[in-house]
Amino acid sequence: MIRIGHGHDTHRLETGKRLRLGGIDIEASVQAIGHSDADCLVHAICDALLGALTLGDLGRHFPDTDRRYQAIDSTILLQDIVKMMQTRGFQIGHLDATVHLEKPKLAPHIHAMRTVLAHHLNTDLERINIKATTGEGIGIIGRGEAIVCDAVVLLEKRRLNDESS
């Protein structure tokens, strides 16, 4: 059995010194604004996983009205969702994500993000793909006002004799 989930997230950008994205900190002239650490990529992945598991969305499980999640590292939320996935007998088949961001350029950081995400998702690096694109100077992305991330995940039911978790 396989399941597919799609996740989407948007965060406003403000002047800053670092951008948290894909579980890593990137030196940047902007930072994302949000209740948690505002890691737009991890949030989109969380929603994709929850969608594939038919468990609603990130806000249902970790509401921004709950102070426990204020400034929390989003990979902690991701780990909780991975536990939900594993409890239901699923594993990552493939993850494909796109980051829409005018700057900074993300190419130098993609491998590090993939590595961190593969670790937190308990899967192999070759099952994780991240792409980056700009807004070509158009709209909220192009003007540097926001970051948008999309993620699509394929979950596979683990075989009974599958030793990987």
Summary mean pLDDT of the chain: 95
The ranges assigned to domains in the chain are 2-157
CB 98 within 8 A of CB 150: yes
For residue range 37-75, list pLDDT tens digits in order: 999 999 999 999 999 999 999 989 998 888 888 889 999
Q: What is the pTM of this model?
A: 0.94
Q: Which fold has domain 2-157?
A: 60s Ribosomal Protein L30; Chain: A; (3.30.1330)
